[in-house]
Structures are given as C-alpha cells and as structure tokens.
Amino acid sequence: MSTTLTSSLDTLPVELIHRIFSSLDEQTIILSLRYVCKRLYTIANVYDRYKLNFESILKSNFDRICRFIQPENVISLTLSDGHMTPGQIQLFFSLFRIEHFTRVCSLTLVDIEEHYLKQILKHITTCTLISLSIKQKDTYNRSIKTNRLLSTILKQPSLQNLTINVIEDGTDQLCWPIQCTIQHLTLFDCYSNHFSIIFHHFPCLQTLFIDFCNLIDYDEPIIKISNLIPMQQLISLTMENASLDMDKIEIILSNTPSLTHLRLIGDVDRIDFAWEQFIKTKLLMLNKFEFVFNKKVDIGYRSINIRRLIASFQTEF
C-alpha cells in the first residue's frame, strides 16, 4: 500500500513557519501572509521575532502595522524621519512607549533629531544591543547627556555593529571604551583626528566603512596621523566621497596588513602614488582593490606624464 506524503502550510511545524518568517519582511508577514488562513493568522499573532523597518514605508501600512504589533515581539527596529517619511518618529512616540521594546537587539535611526534621540537612548541602554545605527540630523547639537548615553551603549560587550556620525573637532565627547567589541564600523564625516581613536579603541574591528572622509587639511593646523596601533584583524576598508592625502593613506594602510578588500573613491592630492610596489610590500593579502581617483590638473601643467601614469595601472599585477 502506498502512502502519499503531503506538505502544506497546514501541516508544517510551527518552527519551520517561524524560519520562513525570519526570511520575510514584516509587511509581507503582517499585511499579507497573516490573512492566508486561520493557522497563519494565529502564528503571526504570537510570532516574537519581528524586524520592523519603517524606512520608506507607506503611511497607511505604517498605521496598520502599528495597530497590530506588540513591542515585546520586536527584536529589530528602524525608524526614519527621512524625506519619504517626515514626522514618523514623532508619530511613533505618540503610539508607543520606547521602554516597552525590551527585546530589541538591532536599532536603526535615520535622520533623527536630538530630542528624540535622547529619549530613545535613555531607555535603550538596558537592551542587549548587537547593532546600532544612528544618522542624526543635528549632530553638532548633540548634548552632553546624549553623548553620555551613547558612551554607555558603546561599552556593551554585545555590540558588534555600529553606524554613527562623528564631529570634526572631536567635540562630540564620546567616551570610547579601550577594548571596544565592535566588529563592523560605519562612520559619517570622518577626519584625520578620528583615526587615532579607531586604531587605539577597536581591537576587534573587521570592516570599516567611511562616508565623507576628509584627510586633506586645507586650513591650518595640519593634523598628522601617527602612533597608530596595527590593526591585524581588519580585512575590509572602504572610504567614499573622500578627500585623500596620500601620505596619510600610506600611514593608515601600512597599519592594516590583513586587508583583503580596499575601496577608495574621492579626490586625491596626488595621483603618482606607487600602488603596485606598496601593495606588494605592505598589503600582501589584498585580493580586491577598487578605486576612483579625482585630481584637478591645470591645462598647462607638464610635470605629470599622463601616458606613463595610465601605464602604471595596466600591468599584469
């Protein structure tokens, strides 16, 4: 006698359905899949690992999800006051108390104002955060209290991923722990003086992404990069929208011997840097180098042999 084995949403174990949910966004689960059948409706109601991403969401869908969701069932939260979702964070505060989101381990705040950032950080310090991403509208208005709250979170041993704005002159007054556990770091508006902090406080750092990196000192005083501690564990470095002083780049890269991926995009103070020789001697593990270098040269400038320069990037290496 033969037996036909069938598998459907009605017979799948709850654990497998939860696994399916983990690969779907919250809008698909809550607004669509939940209404397929009574069983999925019930499972979705008690599912406790929702990852709410409210960036670029329609206002109507935001309202529907907020009416449904229970804060204790959320493990990841993204809020945005970007141009597509203006006023969202204020609306969120009118619907929820942030201290009720006790299980959040990943928090992303996009274009947030100081007032709301302070309120969120005040209550999120008790959560076991793995990932924290903050893109603040008014970074230069960050208060002493907000910096203290941020500094407390940075000391959490669970924190592995960090995205944050920094301030050129260091007046953000963040207290970076000596042995920071962060493995993946993204910085906005990074300057020469920040590299000493990065190389001295991030012994576990594996990937570093910097957007708007300014290493060229157009005004006095000229900031030198020195006394860096080699970052043996860093394997990926990206600098975009950058202004690159090649002498400083040489110092930085000489202290990242384990890089396997390097991406540099931006203006440079000179374009005759001996990359092939440098990589062969200093970056022996590098297997991917992406670059776009911009350099303004006067039409009458004759000291650069363009053909020779291009030829240096056309070797077998």
pLDDT given for residue 140 in this prediction = 74
Asked if 13 and 61 sit in the same domain, the reply is no
Q: How far apart are CA 244 and CA 294, in angstroms?
A: 10
Asked if 33 and 99 sit in the same domain, the reply is no
**Burial group, residue 141, by CB count within 10 angstroms (0-12, 13-18, 19+):** exposed
- Within a domain: 147: yes
- Within a domain: 316: no
Read off the CATH number of the domain in which 17 is found: 1.20.1280
Q: Domain count of the chain?
A: 2
Residue 3 banded pLDDT, cuts 50, 70, 90: very low
Mean pLDDT along residues 210-235 = 82
Asked if 235 and 256 sit in the same domain, the reply is yes
Task: Express as a percent the part of the chain with pLDDT over 90.
Answer: 69
Q: What is the mean pLDDT of the chain?
A: 89
Asked if 78 and 36 sit in the same domain, the reply is no
Asked if 30 and 100 sit in the same domain, the reply is no
pLDDT given for residue 249 in this prediction = 95
Mean pLDDT along residues 235-243 = 97
Q: Are 294 and 267 within 8 A, CB to CB?
A: yes
Q: Could you tell me the two tokens for 134? A: 């903050």
- Within a domain: 16: yes
Asked if 286 and 201 sit in the same domain, the reply is yes
Asked if 77 and 137 sit in the same domain, the reply is yes
Q: Could you tell me the two tokens for 189? A: 């508006």
Look at residue 80 and tell me whether its pLDDT is greater than 70: yes
Residue 40, classed as helix, strand or coil, is helix
Q: How far apart are CA 65 and CA 51, in angstroms?
A: 12
Per-residue pLDDT reduced to its tens digit, 38-48: 999 999 999 99
Q: How many Cα atoms sit within 13 Å of 265 on the Cβ side?
A: 9
Task: Report CA Rg, the chain.
Answer: 24
Residue-number span of the structural domain to which 198 is assigned: 51-311
Residues whose CB falls within 8 Å of the CB of residue 141, separated by 6 or more in sequence, listed in order: 114
- Within a domain: 3: no
Asked if 116 and 41 sit in the same domain, the reply is no
Per-residue pLDDT reduced to its tens digit, 144-173: 899 899 999 999 999 999 999 887 655 457
Residue holding tokens 């609306």? 91
Asked if 37 and 152 sit in the same domain, the reply is no
- Within a domain: 157: yes
* Higher-scoring residue by pLDDT: 243, 222: 243
Tell me which residue of 182, 224, 226, 225 sits closest to 201, measured CA to CA.
Answer: 182
Read off the CATH number of the domain in which 257 is found: 3.80.10
Count of helices and strands (H, E) across the chain:
11, 10
Mean pLDDT along residues 212-222 = 74
CA angle, 156 as apex, 154 and 160 as ends, to 5°?
75
- Within a domain: 209: yes
pTM, full prediction: 0.88
Asked if 29 and 63 sit in the same domain, the reply is no
Per-residue pLDDT reduced to its tens digit, 49-77: 999 999 999 999 999 999 999 999 999 99
Asked if 288 and 241 sit in the same domain, the reply is yes
Per-residue pLDDT reduced to its tens digit, 98-145: 999 999 999 999 999 999 999 999 998 889 999 999 999 877 778 889
Look at residue 194 and tell me whether its pLDDT is greater than 80: yes
- Within a domain: 317: no
Asked if 205 and 220 sit in the same domain, the reply is yes
Per-residue pLDDT reduced to its tens digit, 264-281: 999 999 888 989 999 999
pLDDT given for residue 204 in this prediction = 95
Residue 221 banded pLDDT, cuts 50, 70, 90: low
- Within a domain: 2: no
